[in-house]
Amino acid sequence: MKSLYLKFVVITIGIMIFSSMSAFLISNAYYQQNLKLQNDQKITKMAHSIARYTAMHADVNLNEYLGNISAIGYQIYLVDSSGEGSFFGSPFRDKSLSVSTKEYVLKGNVFHGISQFPQKTFVTGFFANELKNTIGVPLTHSGVNYALFVRPDIKLLFNEMHLLFAWMLFFTIILSIVIVLVSAKYLVKPISKLTTATKSLSNGDFNVELDITRHDELGELSHSFLRMARRLEQMEDMRKEFISNISHDIQSPLSNIKGYTNLLENKSVSAEERDRYFSIINGEIRRLSTLTKQLLLLATLDSNEDILKKRHYNVGQQIKELLRNYQWLINEKNIMLSYTLPDIEINGDPSLLNTVWDNLLTNAIKYNKNGGSIDISIEEKGEILVVTFEDTGIGLNKTEIERIFDRFYRADTSRARTMEGTGLGLSIVWTVVKLHDGHVKVNSTAKEGSTFIIELPIK
C-alpha cells in the first residue's frame, strides 16, 4: 500500500508541476500578445510627456529634471548628437545599444524597444534591465537635439513585491506538498485497512472492523465489505452446519440399518419382530433415498440455472392431481381439506414446480394436528399467480421463520427423526421459486398454524 501512497503523491505533485508550467506558458502568451504592447504604449506616452515638457521649458535644468524623474521610478539614458550620453536613476545591467538606434531616434523617430524585445523570451522579459529594452523618443532642449531612452525602474517599484511573491510562492509549494501528503494518507488509510481485513478474511477471521462513518465512495466500499464479511461468515457457519447435519443425517439411518440387520441375524427373533425390523430398515432406506435425491436436486439447481424447462401448463390441474395422490394420508390424519383451484396456465417448469407444491403439501400434512385443516388456493393478480398453502399446524416463531429456508434447518429437531424430515424441502422450494423469478412469503404463529404464499410471474 506504500506504493499506492507514493504513486498518489507523485502523481499529485506532477499535476501541480504540469499545471504550473501550463499556467506559465499561457501567461507568457498573454503577455506577449497583449500586456507587452500595452506596456510599450504606456511608457511611450510617458517619454513623450517628458520630451514635451523639456521642449516647452527651456529654462529648466535638464539634468536636474531628468534626475527628479528617475527618482520617482524610471531609468533614463540621454544621448546628444555627438554620441555623448548620461544615465539617470538605477544603472542598467546591460548598457549596450547600437549606434544606428541612437541615430534613428535623433532623427525624430520613436524606438519601441519594449515591444521589439525578443519574442523568444518569457514573461520575465518585462523585468530585463537592459538599455535596449527601453522606449526611445527625440527630445529638444534649448535648441539642442537629444535621444531620450526611458523604462520603468522595476527593482525600485516592485522590490518589496518581489519578496512578497517569492515568499507566497515558497509557502504555496510547501503547504501544497504537506496537504498532498496528509490527504493522500487520509485517502489511502481506509484502503490499507481493507487490505488488512481482506487478509483476515482469507485466514478465516471474519471479525473485521472498518471505518464506516465516511460518507464517500470509500465509506460505501467499507459498508459493502462489511456486508460481504458478515455474509461470508454466515455462509461459513452454514457450511459447517451443513457438513454436521449431512453427516448426522447419513450416519443415523446407516447406524439404524446396521443395528437392525444385526438383530435379524439372531435366529430367535420372532416373525412379527422380523417384519417390524424389516419395516424400520425400509423406512431408513427411503429416508436416505429422499435425502440423496434432494441433495442432488439442490446441487443441480445451484450449479445450472439453465435447468429450467419452461412450458405453458395448467397449475390448478397439477395441484389437484397432487391432492389425489395424498388423499389417503390426509384422511388418515382426519384433516379437513378445502381448496380453490381454478384452471390457470403459467409459463414454468412443471417438474420443479410440482416439487414445490409437494413439499408444501407434505409439510402441511406432517406438521398438522389430527382433525386440523388445510386450505389451498390459487389466484391470478394481474401478471402474477399467487398460490397459498394454509394449515392449522404447529406454526413457527419469529426466529424459526428467519431460518426456515436454510438448508438442514429444522424448527423442531426433537421430532425430525420420527417425521423423516431432511431439512431440505423448504430450501428447495425457495431455490425453485427464485429460479422462476418469484417470491416466497411466510406468515405463521406458534401453535396456531402457518401460511406459505408463493408469487410467480405468469408469463
CA atoms within 13 A on the CB side of 91: 4
pLDDT greater at residue 352 or residue 419:
352
| pLDDT given at position 418 | 40
Residue 386 in this model has a pLDDT that exceeds 90: yes
What does the pLDDT read at residue 157? 59
C-alpha span between 237 and 229 (Å, rounded): 12
* CATH architecture label of 305-457: 2-Layer Sandwich (3.30)
Amino acid of residue 72: I
At 245 the pLDDT is 65
Least confidently predicted of 113-127, 134-148, 337-351: 113-127
Q: What is the pLDDT of residue 68?
A: 92
Residue 453: the pLDDT is 94
Amino acid identity, position 37: L
Q: Which of 359, 355, 357, 346 is nearest to 310 (CA)?
A: 346
Instruction: Encode pLDDT of 236-279 as tens digits.
Output: 777 776 677 667 667 777 888 888 888 888 888 888 888 888 88
Whole-angstrom distance, CA of residue 349 vs CA of residue 117: 88
For the chain, where do the domains classified as CATH 1.10.287.130 start and end?
206-303
**What is the grid cell recorded at 458?**
405468469
d(CA 444, CA 398): 8
Q: How far is CA 257 from CA 275, 283, 292, 313, 368, in A?
A: 14, 9, 16, 42, 29
> Model-level pTM?
0.48
> Which percentage of the chain shows pLDDT scores above 90?
30
Q: How confident is the model over 138-183, as pLDDT tens digits?
A: 999 988 999 999 998 877 656 555 566 677 877 888 888 888 777 7
Query: Is the distance from CB of 403 to CB of 236 less than 8 angstroms?
Result: no
Could you tell me the three cell numbers for 111?
A: 524606438
Indicate the CATH number of 206-303 among 3.50.50.60, 3.40.630.10, 1.10.287.130, 1.10.1300.10: 1.10.287.130
CA–chain centroid gap for 84, Å, is 77
What distance in Å separates the CA atoms of residue 187 and residue 13, rounded to the nearest whole number? Answer: 16
Q: What separation, in Å, do the N-terminal and C-terminal C-alpha atoms of the chain show?
A: 51
CATH, range 2-159: 3.30.450
Tens-place pLDDT, residues 72-115:
889 999 999 888 999 999 899 889 999 999 999 999 999 998 88
Question: pLDDT category, 306, cuts 50, 70, 90?
Answer: low
What are the angstrom distances between the C-alpha of 11 and each of 177, 381, 411?
A: 12, 59, 59
* Mean pLDDT, residues 307-312 taken together: 84
Contact assessment for residue 379 and residue 341, using Cβ atoms and an 8 Å cutoff: no
Max mean pLDDT among 185-189, 266-270, 337-341, 401-405 falls in 337-341
How far apart are alpha carbons 432 and 436 in whole angstroms?
6
Q: Residue length, the chain?
A: 459
- The model's confidence at residue 4, banded by pLDDT at 50, 70 and 90, is low
Confidence of residue 374 (pLDDT cuts 50, 70, 90): very high
Residue 86 β-bridge partners: 78
Q: pLDDT tier at 407 (50, 70, 90 boundaries)? A: low
Q: Are 374 and 391 in contact (CB under 8 A)?
A: yes
Region(s) of the chain under CATH 3.30.565.10: 305-457
Residue 221 has pLDDT above 80, yes or no: no
